[in-house]
Chain A
Amino acid sequence: MTKTIAIAGKGGTGKTVIAALLINLLSQEGVVLALDADPSTNLNQALGLPLRDTMGRIREEFVEEVERGRLPPTVIKQELLDYKIRDSLVESKRIDLLPMGRPEGPGCYCAANYMLRHSLDQIAKNYDYIVIDCEAGMEHISRQTTRDVDVLLLISDPTIRGITAAARMRDLIGELRTKVGKICLIVNRVKNGLPLEIGKAIDDFGLQLIATISEDPYIADLEIKGTPLIELPQDSPLQAKVKQVANSLGL
């Protein structure tokens, strides 16, 4: 059974770092599909992987080919898209990366999205874990796959805005087609313990706090050098906490 974990939250709160570390950790247990659902596609850098085509580019190219009537009538378009999506996968040892790229522009994407969902669902079946790095909330991803999410990790910084955004993302899930199992909150970049006000806001919103992560002394240096973030030393707070979260979720 494939376990699907989505990571969402306000901008700049550490989603990509946490996603990368979790992907790296889970790849010791099984084969992981890393889905980058952020149009700015930077999960690959955090993982130290190259970038190929994105699903968004493939979709645009397909719609353009259809518009121009360039596709042969008997080449089944579903199969063509299956091939292109499979080909855009960045394959590494235990981790494959699929960048979703930009969401669709104006125009008709009913058929394209329908077929792409099928392609992605087919691919996803082959993995032990799928980890999705979202742009903010889960809207983009829920249009692109019919898969349900087992665990949603909401990431926030210790700010009321971050916690409110997390609560809003949880509340919006009801409007998406994606079903979500467990929803947990991680408060990242905490200095000197969780402020009381933040703790109260978390309770008031009824969010389930699974971990707090303190400022990481190692990460700034990696960011400056552009080193993959998965190379954080094992005693880094981020590494340690991500491991703890994975354990407590039974991943």
Chain B
Amino acid sequence: MEFHIDLGPQYEGESIRKEDFYVEFGGSAVKYKFERATLKSPEEVEHEKVEIIGSDIKDLEEGGSYPLAILIDVAGEELEPDMEPVIERRIHMYSNYVEGLWHMAQRNDIWLRLSKNSFKKGLNSLREVGEIYNFLFTSEIPQIEKIQTTFITDEKRIEELLPSALEVYEARDARARELKDEDVDEFYYCVLCQSFAPTHCCIVTPSRLANCGAMNWFDCKAAYKLDPEGPIAGFPKGECLDPLKGEFSGANKIVAEKSLGNYDRVYLHSAFEHPHTSCGCFQAICFYIPEVDAFGIIHRDYGGVTPAGLKFSTMAGDTSGGKQVEGSCGMALELLRSAKFFQADGGRKRLVWLPKEIKERYKEFLEADGVYDKIATEEDVSNTDELVEFLEKVGHPWIKGEVELPG
């Protein structure tokens, strides 16, 4: 294939400043933009076709910022719907392979710039960019049998198509949230917080994000790739020693190494025996309430106290510092979405007290477990006696003995 400009990974690091771009697409100056890869049936894809809807680069005024949608349609017997996001992410990679083309971000946030230099060299049409995509995709991903690329610069068309793209992204996120520990071979650890808690090591799996909430399995995977020597790294999860409690030989090994020998076992999905350590950065604490043999959660932004009269800061002091504290676990709030949320102990069904704000935020998941209207908040009770009374009155399934522990 002959193109006006050079191609290759050596161009990936290049950045194009405002002064040096011929035109830019997307970015914060432009309202409508997105990119999307779609798996289609072979009849729906005209192989190697490039279509441009709206103005092409050469018709655009120099120095301007324009709307853009990039649609990559692929077909191939061995392609699976799961690969759509992977293929879509390659738009970023392959765009940056192009000399003088710069691409940032993804989905409906894309931002591209074409350098004056490459425009001068003859890259003055999206058709050529499409041909480059078609070429790179088919040569790098052999499962792609047919591919067609469509660019839309017509703002109205993009606006019309954007909602359906957003739906696709959302559906993908929903699927990603269903990814479980058993679906992957690699877990990640993060020791960013060791400057505060030298024995703390977050184990991050598809079912368990880091205590701070800022690093999920996907983020760690990306961080490890960017900086393989860094504080976030992957490891083989090893043998699953206890699927309910979430004990894995690989995680035990890492914890032993990174906790400086203080711990050699960790249960990822239980608050008892060998619970996960807590740094100082956790968003919330899942705490045991002995009077009712159940759990409550308190989060950093909650100014009030638990039924036992404790503030977040007081409880955090006892939980943090890289210790394994039975019945008191630092956690990310988003863990409440996880299907494995302290599953060995009864999961969400054993929650009896939450700050109102959190109860509302995770309503959907609590309702699905049939406990939404059984959980007390600071508005319902102000001490443990009232909590016991409340739970009996509403008939919390855990208190009534209706929740069976798994296994």
Measured CB to CB, the residues of A under 8 A from B are 31, 63, 66-69, 72-80, 82-83, 86-87, 91-94, 96, 107-108, 110-112, 114-115, 118, 123, 125-126
Q: How far is the CA of A176 from the CA of B172 in the complex (A)?
A: 43
Are A79 and B106 neighbours in the complex by a CB distance under 8 Å?
A: yes
Q: How far is the CA of A123 from the CA of B13 in the complex (A)?
A: 10
Give the distance to chain B from A206, nearest Cβ to Cβ, in Å. Answer: 32
Closest B residue by C-beta to A113? B192
Are B28 and A87 neighbours in the complex by a CB distance under 8 Å?
A: yes
Measured CB to CB, the residues of B under 8 A from A are 13-15, 17-19, 27-28, 85, 104-107, 109, 111, 169-170, 172-173, 176-177, 190, 192-193, 195-196, 210, 212-216, 218-219, 222-223, 226-227, 231, 279-283, 300-301, 333-334, 337, 361
Are A78 and B226 neighbours in the complex by a CB distance under 8 Å?
A: yes
Q: How far is the CA of A73 from the CA of B219 in the complex (A)?
A: 8
Are B281 and A123 neighbours in the complex by a CB distance under 8 Å?
A: no
Interface centre among A73, A76, A80, A96 (most CB of B within 10 A): A73
Give the distance to chain B from A69, nearest Cβ to Cβ, in Å. Answer: 5
Are B361 and A72 neighbours in the complex by a CB distance under 8 Å?
A: no
Are B192 and A74 neighbours in the complex by a CB distance under 8 Å?
A: no
Give the distance to chain A from B237, nearest Cβ to Cβ, in Å. Answer: 19
Q: Which residues of A contact B219 (CB under 8 A)?
A: 76-78
Q: How far is the CA of A96 from the CA of B16 in the complex (A)?
A: 12
Give the distance to chain B from A80, nearest Cβ to Cβ, in Å. Answer: 7
Are A75 and B106 neighbours in the complex by a CB distance under 8 Å?
A: yes
Closest A residue by C-beta to B213? A66
Which of A63, A73, A92, A112 is within 8 Å of B173, CB to CB?
A73
Give the distance to chain B from A163, nearest Cβ to Cβ, in Å. Answer: 33
**New contact pairs (9) apart from A74-B176, A77-B215, A110-B196, CB-CB < 8 Å:** A72-B170, A73-B218, A76-B218, A94-B19, A108-B283, A110-B193, A111-B190, A111-B192, A123-B15
Q: Which residues of B contact A31 (CB under 8 A)?
A: 17
Are B218 and A83 neighbours in the complex by a CB distance under 8 Å?
A: no
Q: Can you sample 17 A-B contacts with CB below 8 Å?
A: A63-B214, A66-B213, A69-B213, A69-B337, A72-B173, A74-B218, A76-B219, A78-B219, A79-B104, A80-B109, A83-B109, A96-B17, A108-B282, A110-B214, A111-B190, A114-B231, A115-B223
Are A125 and B300 neighbours in the complex by a CB distance under 8 Å?
A: no
Are A111 and B210 neighbours in the complex by a CB distance under 8 Å?
A: yes
Q: Which residues of A contact B226 (CB under 8 A)?
A: 78, 118
Are A79 and B222 neighbours in the complex by a CB distance under 8 Å?
A: yes
Are A72 and B109 neighbours in the complex by a CB distance under 8 Å?
A: no
Which of B104, B210, B214, B218 is within 8 Å of A112, CB to CB?
B214
Given known pairs A69-B334, A86-B104, the reply for A108 and B15 (CB within 8 Å) is no
